[in-house]
Amino acid sequence: MRGESPRACLWLASYKAFFQNVAAGLRTGRLPLERSVENPADTRPKTGGRRLDKSCCGQVQSQPCAKGRGPGDPFAWFGRMIANCLEYAQAAKREGRPVVGILCEYTPRELILAAGGVPVCLCAGSAATIPAAEEYLPSNLCPLIKSTFGYHVKRSNPFLEMADLLVAETTCDGKKKMYELLAESRPMIVLELPQKADDEESLKAWERELRRLQAALEERFGVRITDCRLREAIAAMNRERALRRRLAEFMRLEPPPLTGRQLLELKSSISGIPADLEQYEQAIARLEERIGQDQKPVARRPDAGATPGGQDGCPSRLGGQDARPPLPAGGDSCAPVRVLMTGVPVVHGAERVVDIIESAGGVVVCMENCTGLKPILEDVDAAAADPLRTLAEKYYHLPCSVMTRNDRRMDLLRALARAYRPECVIELVWQACLTYDIESHAVKRLAEGELGLPYLKIVTDYSPSDSARIAMRVEALYETTRARRNSR
């Protein structure tokens, strides 16, 4: 029924989540983190930021601490992420739940979850499928689009093959035109995404599109997406976002306890898998335990960090100037260079540039992109009178370069620079991604002119042929960065 009491829905949802956690705790022998039953998303840090493991010479370990690894190891769990997702999706299909493929962070997973569906991200990062795609698509196209389409041509993505429906949006031109080819043989709904970021009429149009999606899901899957079901789905996604934010927050420490690549591994192609959420909680608990045991505390404002469940956008979540941990000391030329990475998504399988950045002596402390913090910083008010309107607002705020003007991205970068204390900015642009490539001019101006940070743009694709050249450019950037550090 529409119009149920928001509080009753949320109470029910959080009650369910609480007992799921207790059951998980009993299974794993670990109690869930303390969280309020009223607010299942409340995973605020219980400790201040502290230093974690580092080897000699200040280098962050390239692998998580071996002690504590075992059958319940979250890193091992997410190392099998694709297999886990496949198992989950197959089981869901057997139970009669539809699998819905999504291709962009503008898709509100909450609506799919509220329809009983399994939202699975289909964005691909494999170079191997690109030749098949190039039989249909131009070669000078974004590799993410080509790789995704190549899986379709080869019929080799099991998630795409089992998808009952695809949901896509009119974002960049390359994606839009690729969707037309995909829709020739796959059931697909394309949402019209308006692109004037701060225009009230555009937001209303987007809200209408989400209502259209809601009706289409209801009709196709024979369900009613009541406000109550939507609120439950919103609460579940808020919880997932809060856990992932908390993990990212560890990267504010100096040195950070993980590499950027390790943090990037802690994610899933399918949202809302209960076992994933348990693993996020275990990872947080282990990291907090380790920083509690071994390391010296870093001065940090006790309330700095995520404020889960709130409606504030990212800047207020990210704390103020005094939330900043110290940078590597002047003269500590061995400490990894703290890198803020921005630009295009780094999808599963396409992490080559992150590996180069970190092998060259850096650590990616913050990713602004769609596979990093951008989509998880803002929550949705599950208790709002009109949850769908609030959902539309959250997704419309996503600062993708397809928006004009995209000032929110610049605000986000400012806030991330304050919170994560990068020493330089590296922007990744997939070849032929015009919107990010053009917007890189504004990002460079912001980084160098306003934030005072050295900036490097890397334009590449999924082929490793330019890896040596990229590594040389990154090393040159680090030389500049370390020289500045040493002169402080």
Residues that bind ligand SF4 (CB under 6 A): 104-106, 142, 144-145, 171-172, 174-175, 344-345, 370, 398, 400, 402, 430, 433, 435-436
2: left (phi over 0), alpha (psi -120 to 50) or beta: beta
User: Which amino acid, residue 377?
Assistant: L
Residues linked to residue 343 through DSSP beta bridges, in sequence order = 428
Least gap, CB of 343 to ligand SF4 (angstroms): 8
Of 175 and 394, nearer to ligand SF4 (C-beta) is 175
Least gap, CB of 169 to ligand SF4 (angstroms): 7
Least gap, CB of 201 to ligand SF4 (angstroms): 21
Of 145 and 251, nearer to ligand SF4 (C-beta) is 145
Of 169 and 358, nearer to ligand SF4 (C-beta) is 169
Of 99 and 144, nearer to ligand SF4 (C-beta) is 144
Least gap, CB of 297 to ligand SF4 (angstroms): 36
99-102/188-191 β-pairing = unpaired
Q: How many whole angstroms from its chain centre is CA 22?
A: 27
User: Which amino acid, residue 418?
Assistant: R
Q: Which whole-number Å values give the CA distances from 159 to 85, 100, 102, 189, 375, in the listed order?
A: 9, 9, 10, 17, 22
- Judged on CB neighbours under 10 Å (0-12, 13-18, 19+), 411 is middle
In 3-state terms, what secondary structure has residue 272? coil
Over the Cα atoms of the chain, what is R_g? 22
Of 241 and 338, nearer to ligand SF4 (C-beta) is 241
Q: Which whole-number Å values give the CA distances from 120 to 74, 164, 434, in the listed order?
A: 20, 11, 26
Q: Give the sheet arrangement for strand 188-191, strand by strand.
A: 118-121, 99-102, 165-169, 188-191
Of 78 and 462, nearer to ligand SF4 (C-beta) is 462
Least gap, CB of 378 to ligand SF4 (angstroms): 13
Query: Which tokens in the block code for residue 175?
Result: 């994606």
Only one residue has tokens 């990872």, namely 283
Residues linked to residue 54 through DSSP beta bridges, in sequence order = 60
Query: Which tokens in the block code for residue 365?
Result: 């402390």
Q: What is the C-alpha separation between 366 and 250, in angstroms, rounded?
A: 10
Of 92 and 402, nearer to ligand SF4 (C-beta) is 402
Least gap, CB of 180 to ligand SF4 (angstroms): 15
Least gap, CB of 370 to ligand SF4 (angstroms): 3
**Residues in the chain, overall count:** 488
Angle at CA of residue 41, ends 39 and 45, nearest 5°: 110
Of 159 and 250, nearer to ligand SF4 (C-beta) is 159
Least gap, CB of 388 to ligand SF4 (angstroms): 20
Least gap, CB of 145 to ligand SF4 (angstroms): 5
Of 144 and 237, nearer to ligand SF4 (C-beta) is 144
Which of 126, 121, 77, 124 is closest to 262 using CA atoms? Answer: 77
Of 235 and 398, nearer to ligand SF4 (C-beta) is 398
| Largest separation between any pair of C-alpha atoms in the chain | 65
Least gap, CB of 172 to ligand SF4 (angstroms): 3
Which of 380, 400, 386, 461 is closest to 428 using CA atoms? Answer: 461
Report residue 12: phi and psi, to 5°.
Answer: -60, -45
